[in-house]
């Protein structure tokens, strides 16, 4: 069961970590995070550009898109007044929806033997004030410190579910099986 999420032109917090559920996920939308290094140095600032690309029409002076960006390590800096920090990640502000490109910086952690996972959910909207005709996509990136030894496959749960969601799913399935078993015994 997916949680209900209400879209917000003011940005979304952790409720959007699994995607923009009020819009439709489609292949014609892509999310890119340019500027990530192949391997990061300790405490180094990297200029990043987050871009949402889509064939969803852009209307001037209307909302065009939004995003939710999280990283497992490091910190973010941004001079763009249309970005805000909310619930452990970055998202757009109201006027930040009038664009599909945002600039920010990521400061790498001091531990260069670690890896960092970035997850970005981006949406492209047509500015009609409704979810019809809008679309979203997600992208994951895993980068390592220069001393990292290990797997760089992006961490991703079952169909994008995090460990907490997997436990809830398991509990629900066990409950359903128990209910079916009890009713079949009557």
Cα-based distances in Å from 76 to 104, 124, 180: 7, 23, 49
Alpha helices (H) in 52-133, listed in sequence order: none
Condensed to tens digits (0 to 9), the pLDDT of residues 57-96 reads 777 888 788 888 999 999 999 877 788 888 888 888 877 7
Model confidence band, residue 157 (pLDDT cutoffs 50, 70, 90): low
Condensed to tens digits (0 to 9), the pLDDT of residues 24-39 reads 545 678 899 999 999 9
Among 2.40.50.100, 2.60.40.10, 3.30.479.30, 2.60.40.830, name the CATH number for the domain at 14-155: 2.60.40.830
Condensed to tens digits (0 to 9), the pLDDT of residues 83-132 reads 888 888 888 887 777 888 999 999 999 999 999 999 998 888 887 776 66
Model confidence band, residue 6 (pLDDT cutoffs 50, 70, 90): very low
Mean pLDDT on 144-171: 70
Residue 17 pLDDT > 50 = no
The structure's pTM equals: 0.70
The neighbouring-strand residues paired with 137 are: 122
Residue spans of beta strands (DSSP E) within 58-155: 65-71, 75-77, 83-86, 89-92, 101-107, 115-124, 135-145
Is 80 or 17 the better-scoring residue by pLDDT? Answer: 80
Distance CA 178, CA 170 (A): 12
Distance CA 148, CA 49 (A): 24
- Given this model, what pLDDT does residue 38 score? 94
Residue 54 pLDDT > 80 = yes
- Ranges of each domain in the chain: 14-155, 157-186
**What percent of the chain shows pLDDT beyond 90?**
32
State CA 27 to chain mean position distance.
16
């Amino acid at each position: 069961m997916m949680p209900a999420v209400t879209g917000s032109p003011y940005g979304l917090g952790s409720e959007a970590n699994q995607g923009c559920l009020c819009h439709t996920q489609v292949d014609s939308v892509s999310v890119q995070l340019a500027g990530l290094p192949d391997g990061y140095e300790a405490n180094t600032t990297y200029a990043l550009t987050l871009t949402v690309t889509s064939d969803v029409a852009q209307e001037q002076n209307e909302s065009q898109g939004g995003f939710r960006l999280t990283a497992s390590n490091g910190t973010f800096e941004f001079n763009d007044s249309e970005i805000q920090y909310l619930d452990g990640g970055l998202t757009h502000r109201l006027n930040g929806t009038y664009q599909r490109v945002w600039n920010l910086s990521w400061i790498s952690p001091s531990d260069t033997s670690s890896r960092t996972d970035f997850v970005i959910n981006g949406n492209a909207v047509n500015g009609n004030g409704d979810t019809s005709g809008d679309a979203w996509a997600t992208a994951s990136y895993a980068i390592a410190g220069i001393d990292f030894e290990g797997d760089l496959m992006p961490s991703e749960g079952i169909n994008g579910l995090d460990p907490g969601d997997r436990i809830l799913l398991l509990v629900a399935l066990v409950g359903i099986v128990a209910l079916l078993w009890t009713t079949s015994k009557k």
